[in-house]
Chains A and B, each alone.
Chain A
Amino acid sequence: MTHVALFLSFLIFGSTGGEIAITRGMKATGEPGRLRPKEMLQFLGRALCNGWFWAGVPLMALSFYALLLLLSWEPISFVIPASALSYVVGTFGAKYLLGEQISAARWAGVVLVCAGVALVALG
């Protein structure tokens, strides 16, 4: 049971940590001037030169590997609902690491989405 809890935390913290690092990288990159092929290629080039982007990729790979291992030990009806906690962890990360302002409505929405994803995954 300890190893399930350990890999579940790798899954949740790895995926949210990776996404937060990528968000930081994309914020530093800046938005594309226009959504046209030339501007999008320049935007992609700038993003791929950002260290935060590359910090996020291995964290997401780690979380994917943890997901595969968990699915080999536990039923999907446990793994996906449990991993829905990443919506709440991600919102805390957005508040404290990215400095986003989380209003009461956003918190309520996140909690509802988290519960909804868990119920959908339970089938």
Chain B
Amino acid sequence: MATEGRLRIKTLVMVCAMVVCANAGDLMLKRGMLQIGAVQLSESGLAHAFRMTVSSGTLWVGIIFLCGFMLSYMTVLSWADYSYVMPAGAFGYALLTFFAVIFLHEAVSPRRWVGVVLICVGVLLVGQTKPRTTVVAREALA
């Protein structure tokens, strides 16, 4: 059915946007905080860390990505099942492992590879079920 195919495609596109934004946001936050260095838990240390964080371009890019994640998450949940989106979003764990191997040349243990395979098979199984099994409000389409 054409409508169901369209629903599946827009759900998958939005879940991909969610996964990419969440991972890119986390990586940017990590990189930004590494640039700032360990935060000293004193009054002057916290004040310095605050000034550094609000003026860090990397952290702002990370925050924009995380806002993108929240917006795509809210949007996809307005039409798709929570039980479809939640496991599909776990694909990010597998993606991070691939990135770690390809770009950072990290060694990955066999146990972690088994986990990645289980996630990929699980996401494929969930992905072939119907993205929506409930009735959705459609005020915006009226």
Interface residues of A (CB under 8 A from B): 19-20, 22-23, 26-33, 35, 39-40, 42-44, 46-47, 87, 90-91, 93-95, 98-103, 105-106, 108-123
Contact = CB atoms under 8 A, between A and B. Distances in A.
Contacts of B84: 106
A112 B82 contact: no
B137 A116 contact: no
Contacts, number: 162
Nearest to B121: A112
Contacts of B137: 27-30
Q: Is the contact region of chain B dominated by helix, strand, or loop, or is it mixed? A: helix
Nearest to B93: A120
A94 B83 contact: yes
B38 interface: no
Contacts of A40: 71, 75
B90 to A, nearest CB: 5
Nearest to B110: A119
Contacts of B90: 87, 113, 116-117
Contacts of B138: 30-31
Contacts of A106: 83-84, 87, 125-126, 129
A69 B120 CA distance: 31
A42 B82 contact: no
Interface stretch (B29-37, B43-51, B55-63, B111-119): B111-119
